[in-house]
Amino acid sequence: MAIPCGGVGSSPPVHSALTAQSILGHTRLEKIMKKKVVLAYSGGLDTSVAVQWVRESYDADVIAVAVDIGEEKDYAAIQKKATDVGAVASRLIDAKEEFVRDFVFPSLKANAVYENKYFLATAIARPLISKIIAQVAEEEGAGAVSHGSTGKGNDQVRFEASFGALNPDLEVIAPAREWGMTREQEIDYAQQNGIPIPIDLDNPYSMDVNLWGKSIECGVLEDPSKEPPEEIYEWTVSPQAAPDTPTYIEIGFDQGVPISLNGDAMDGVSLIEELNQLGGSNGVGRVDMMENRLVGIKSREIYECPAGTILTTAHRELEAMTIDRETMHFKQQVELKYSELVYYGLWFSDLKKAIDAFVNSTQENVTGTVTMKLYKGSCVVAGRTSNRSLYSYEMATYDKADAFDHASGKGFCEVFGLPLKVAARLRMR
């Protein structure tokens, strides 16, 4: 290693010996303590290749961490595979409950839906995975973390913004962005290194799955003029194939959080699983959208999100009954910003935290039940009840029970329309 020692002919600066010593000391220390990298591991080809590639390219020990947030797969096998492909240690963390409590439900309270269509399943998973990876790095005394995202998507940004917010000193290694391998080269590399090649390698679709939803990209979906083939859907039946009779369900909410289904108290994870089932079997929750990615690309995305669709629709309905007009209108504006922040990977930002505080305050009275009708792909409200309701029958009715003071309408109209009258007179002068 070159050690700075001043220009030719000049006497070395006084501190150079010290610098040399500390650099040598550091090198020696690094020799003793091999670099440790904690990798977010999915068990797929990319992150399996990443284990070996990081080991080789950074001369590092890789600790693989698989996080279970509700994708149904063989996690025991994944945990084993990580060490088979070269990780020094492999951990499996079940984060379903934390995911629902701290990521899904806060988003639901904010009705977080990006560009009016995307329920943000992947976007809210990344900060949680980052949090877990950063924690493991701390426990293991690792100075670096790693994710398998490419340079074209939103996920790299979400991981790295989250790592930065949680521990600004962590070094981030993004193998799939750095290695510059084509798909074929990656497969060659895997074969040379004894990394198992997945049997469904010819599956043209790229998917990301968790409890809150599933995203499907690539293959024929990249032609936005074409209807997606039926084969891509795994959670939902097509509306045509759905039952001819509707399914009615009643969801109970407590301060904006869903707590029961058809009168039975349910934990968040089970409730979401059940709603994915019920919605999916009625063809509810398919989304086909043109999406604006943070990196500037427009992409065609398909989602399956039955539980997200049902719960967000029901939640909005209960809000409409229990939140006053001005708070609700203001909240709708804030929701747009919230969805954008979450999509952009700014989950751990100060603004997001401040909006959460506002949103929580709006949820104080969002308690009650909503009956939803699921029928051939549609999901609509059928009824709602709340003992915190702001709906007043006496105020709303046109029957004889009407208690609204009709005469006061005259003064109200006069005063409310006054500025327009004044402006009109000025124009006519």
Q: Please state, in angstroms and rounded to a whole number, the distance separating the CA atoms of residues 257 and 366.
A: 8
List the structure tokens of 296. Answer: 């500037």
Catalytic-role residue among 48, 61, 155, 286: 155
**What is the contact mask toward ligand ARG in residues 211 to 240, using x (rule: CB under 6 A)?**
----x-x-----------------------
Classify residue 91 by its DSSP letter: E
Q: Please state, in angstroms and rounded to a whole number, the distance separating the CA atoms of residues 252 and 323.
A: 17
Q: Could you tell me the smallest distance in angstroms from the CB atom of residue 129 to ligand ARG?
A: 11
Exposed, middle or buried: residue 297 (CB in 10 Å: 0-12, 13-18, 19+)? exposed
Query: Under the criterion CB under 6 A, does residue 291 sit at the interface with ligand ARG?
Result: yes
Binder among 45, 85, 123, 161 for ligand ARG (CB under 6 A): 123
Question: Do residues 88 and 62 make contact, with C-beta atoms less than 8 angstroms apart?
Answer: yes
Nearer to ligand ARG, 253 or 303 (CB): 303
Q: Could you tell me the smallest distance in angstroms from the CB atom of residue 115 to ligand ARG?
A: 11
Q: Please state, in angstroms and rounded to a whole number, the distance separating the CA atoms of residues 361 and 354.
A: 11
Q: Could you tell me the smallest distance in angstroms from the CB atom of residue 122 to ligand ARG?
A: 4
Query: Under the criterion CB under 6 A, does residue 339 sit at the interface with ligand ARG?
Result: no
Nearer to ligand ARG, 154 or 282 (CB): 154
Q: Could you tell me the smallest distance in angstroms from the CB atom of residue 114 to ligand ARG?
A: 8
- Strand partners for 291: 299
Catalytic-role residue among 46, 130, 149, 384: 46
Q: Could you tell me the smallest distance in angstroms from the CB atom of residue 152 to ligand ARG?
A: 10
Query: Under the criterion CB under 6 A, does residue 392 sit at the interface with ligand ARG?
Result: no
Q: Spell 174-197 as b/e; 16+ CB within 10 A means b.
A: bbbeebebeeeebbebbeebebee
Binder among 46, 155, 186, 250 for ligand ARG (CB under 6 A): 155
Query: Under the criterion CB under 6 A, does residue 107 sit at the interface with ligand ARG?
Result: no
List the structure tokens of 305. Answer: 């999100």
Q: Could you tell me the smallest distance in angstroms from the CB atom of residue 148 to ligand ARG?
A: 8
List the structure tokens of 172. Answer: 């981030």
Q: Could you tell me the smallest distance in angstroms from the CB atom of residue 73 to ligand ARG?
A: 15
Query: Under the criterion CB under 6 A, does residue 206 sit at the interface with ligand ARG?
Result: yes
Q: For residue 119, how many other CB atoms are within 10 A of its CB?
A: 26
Nearer to ligand ARG, 217 or 250 (CB): 217
List the structure tokens of 72. Answer: 């149904």
Q: Please state, in angstroms and rounded to a whole number, the distance separating the CA atoms of residues 54 and 366.
A: 49
Nearer to ligand ARG, 249 or 287 (CB): 287
Question: Do residues 134 and 166 make contact, with C-beta atoms less than 8 angstroms apart?
Answer: yes
How many residues belong to the site for ligand ARG (CB under 6 A)?
A: 10
Q: Where are the beta strands (DSSP E) in 144-246?
A: 144-146, 171-173, 206-210, 213-217
Query: Under the criterion CB under 6 A, does residue 124 sit at the interface with ligand ARG?
Result: no
Nearer to ligand ARG, 297 or 380 (CB): 297
Q: Please provide residue 343's backbone torsions phi and psi, each rounded to the nearest 5 degrees.
A: -60, -40
Q: Could you tell me the smallest distance in angstroms from the CB atom of residue 178 to ligand ARG?
A: 17
Q: Active site includes 208?
A: no
Q: Active site includes 126?
A: yes
**Residue 244 region, left (φ>0) first, then alpha (ψ -120 to 50), else beta?**
alpha
Catalytic-role residue among 55, 91, 126, 286: 126
Binder among 90, 107, 122, 363 for ligand ARG (CB under 6 A): 122
Of the candidates 107, 110, 178, 116, which has an alpha carbon nearest to the alpha carbon of residue 146? Answer: 178
Catalytic-role residue among 22, 206, 238, 270: 206
List the structure tokens of 177. Answer: 């962005």
Q: Please state, in angstroms and rounded to a whole number, the distance separating the CA atoms of residues 348 and 284.
A: 31
Q: For residue 89, how many other CB atoms are within 10 A of its CB?
A: 15
Nearer to ligand ARG, 118 or 253 (CB): 118
Query: Under the criterion CB under 6 A, does residue 301 sit at the interface with ligand ARG?
Result: yes
Residues 34-93 that bind ligand ARG (CB under 6 A): none
Nearer to ligand ARG, 291 or 304 (CB): 291
List the structure tokens of 81. Answer: 């595979």
Q: Active site includes 286?
A: no
Nearer to ligand ARG, 209 or 374 (CB): 209
Q: Spell 34-66 as b/e; 16+ CB within 10 A means b.
A: ebbbbbbbbbbbbbbbbbbbbbeebebbbbbbb
Q: Active site includes 264?
A: no
Catalytic residues, which ones? 46, 126, 155, 206
Footprint of ligand ARG on this chain (CB under 6 A)? 122-123, 154-155, 206, 208, 215, 217, 291, 301
